[in-house]
Structure 1
Amino acid sequence: MRHRYSILFFPLHVIVDSLSLNVAFVGAYLLKFQTIEGVSTPPYTSLWLLFNLIWLIEVLILKPYVFPRQLFKAGHLLKKMLLLTAIHIAVISMYWVAIRGYYYSREHLVITYALFLSLGAALRIAGLVFLREYRARGYNTRRYVIVGYGKLAASIHSFYETHPEMGFRFHGYFDQPTPENVGLIKGTYNELLSYVEKESIDCIYCCLTYMDNDRLKVIADHAEAGNYQVKILVDFRGFLARGASVEYHDFLPVLNLSSQVLSDFQVNIFKRSFDILFSVAALGLGMPIFFLLAAITKLTSAGPTFYAQERIGQGGKPFKIYKFRSMYTNAEQSGPVLSGGLLDNRITPWGRFMRQTRLDEIPQFYNVLKGDMSVVGPRPERQFFIDQIIEIAPEYRSLLEVKPGITSIGQIKYGYAASVEEMVQRLRYDLIYPKRRSFFFDMWIIAQTLRVMAQGRGK
């Protein structure tokens, strides 16, 4: 049976929230009255039953636990919980006024909701972390194929490869054979439906850029019988990057291409505050380690402890980036040269260790405090290489709209680039970041970076 455990998510959510609500109610009574004897006797018996009844009705009407995997995030879960709790408070308040239940302790009610929100939020975040790790390890997965091969198809594949915690497993591209896709496709359009049935595929992504409506209709018509979802990919990226928006005329979606300023003030302020606090904590708590790294760098090879180099930041503004020196001095006498990886003979033995563990990047917390960089963001490059990258991948310009960072998705998934071509490959990962900026996404990137450092897998 496909996804035999997924159907348990809804009842599990209901049970967990119901238990949390009851624990909060009894716990608040204990905190207020230093006993629980009266909680099961009138008048609190009726209030206790009403608490559970209202919550059950909310769950049945609003269905708050149904989320697609792409929206199964802490923010969505907590917002939904806050909404349900607000409705619950409103109904209880009306009941309290209607029956003139002034004999109920208002302090007990306040403590109940405070405990419930705290417990519910903690359980949701813990469950989310567990489920993401569970799916990243290959359990509770969804199988998908992509119809049509090209840049748009590669983008959705890259997205799920970058986010294994969503639990989507790729089973191949399907397209008509061409010289460009030889050896890259799983099969043709005619072989698609039989493969979907044989491999129990859950989702088919259809790229309208590479297929016609007749083929899409055939796939959609068989969806119910084949027990799979059909999702359509349309490439609006070039328009949306210029500030386009979607308007709805009744049920008809209309893309508005008028230019507009897209500025998320709250995200930027919150991110800058986090950058400052995190950098101060890292520099303050890690000061003994920094002095040790500086001393070893100085003693193991001739030259300065720190290395400064001009990079291009947000909006194309140049700045000086700082690192612990990992190469011998005069490594670029003949001009800008990319590192040839850990086997580059310009890298010192100690520098090789620092690069593997990313310890050479630590001085960049100073850049973060100055405002040149962020803790998380696409890696900054030199203008010499940016000019070459843009010739191959013009979409790189969009990365200059956000502040560069110490660590990024590209650093985690790809690492140091030894050529412009490798820089372009790393770029495919970093392009995801500007569209998905959030506190929890930054936390995930930082956690993955710490794992790479601990395992010494930086390349």
Structure 2
Amino acid sequence: MSRRVELAALLLIDGLMFSLAYGLLYLARFEWQWFGPPVLYPAAFGFPMLLMTAYWMLLFAFSGLYRERYADSRLDELVALFKVVSVGVLILVFAIFIDTLEPSSTREAIFFYWASVYGLVSVGRLGVRTVQKVLRVHGYGVHRALIVGWGDKVEELYQEVARYPEAGLKVVGAIRLARPGESSALFEAEGGDPTAVATMTSTSACTIEALPRLIDELKVEDVLIALEGRDHDALLEVLRLCDGKPVKLKLVPDFYTLIGGMARTEHMYGLPLIEVLPEPMPAWEQSMKRLMDVAVSLVVLVLGLPLWLAIGLLIRLTSPGPAIYRQQRVGQHGRIFTLYKFRTMYVDAEARTGPVWATKDDPRITPIGRWLRRTRLDEVPQFWNVLKGDMSLVGPRPERPFFVEQLAREIPLYNRRHRVKPGITGWAQVRWKYDNSLEDVRQKVKFDLFYIENMSLRMDLKILFRTIYTMLAGKGQ
């Protein structure tokens, strides 16, 4: 099944099971009185049931239980459910149950509700996953995969993928790299059938540099790397070319010693693969990060509205042109979005020069713009980008497409910055000066990559506090 159908099925089944669990608790407490006479009787049944169902679904979403768990072990999902349901019931104990039950019956009621929620939701999800597995075996809802490797390794991995259709990988092509004296080639699956190497036909001579284009053209979701342990340079080149692309990288276990802590071992129904560069933040931290983005953005935009209107009016009065400046920037996974800023330069500042970096005493900056840059207030309209989901409060600063193309050629792993959402501020902004040259950008990329590999809420808060200090001290540029 597709990701959209999977999500709809999970929401429907979970909602039904949460409602059923509450219904069982209601009968046990108020009709059957298994836990003794209740202290309080509910005025209605339907509304509390809806509230409880909404509570559980929000908790599940916050904990990442509605994220794609492609071909994950069902046992792993049951363990994740156990943890989340246990925490959820503990929250309810202190919020509701502790005041509405007799002390002697509290333990039994809590265990009964926990068992009802966990048991019913587990049964529902196992049903969804079983149907999902059957559909994958028949070719529905599979991931499109591309293999990169040497000739013999490519064939071996093809056979492995064909042996485990439950893993849900559909190989749509392969890049067969060349040893010295050989020629490389691109292969595409005829009719999308990955069951045998014989169905693959060479379409053209090809080098590894074609990988980004093929990912886009073939709508690839997984890149399977079939190299050997000594091929360090080839692996690093694959990682570089896939940086910023919305794909997962999986390789055969030979490379585990090379990539160390940047990998996570997977056994997809017997198919041993290692995922490279997995998500650095756990699901609950990602949910909290997004919640913090939305909350802070709303507070800043709403409470500061009079000040933002005054700044916009001041910009209009002191120099001709709009108060808000719009510019195309590159976001997560290379997507282009429109970034908003208070205008700090004169209109058509780059009409003669084309895209150039701002310098320390840039004559194109207006007097008001210089003050806005020092205090970082020119970035305030980007809180709207954060609300829309284009950006986050903390992350690598987004760059213009013109500079991204240039810098990606000059700086290794530059596109790895696009693995995460760009931010209003970032580790590079609080640790390095304003970038005026390519060397400054190189240094900032190092800080950005450090942030991406060590993302956490604690680090985000540290960056936000340092940014506030910079604003109050007027040290921006």
TM-score range normalised by the length of the shorter chain: 0.3 to 0.5
Scaled by the length of structure 2, what TM-score is found?
0.43
Scaled by the length of structure 1, what TM-score is found?
0.45
Give the number of the structure with larger relative contact order, counting CA–CA contacts within 8 Å between residues 6 or more apart.
Answer: 2
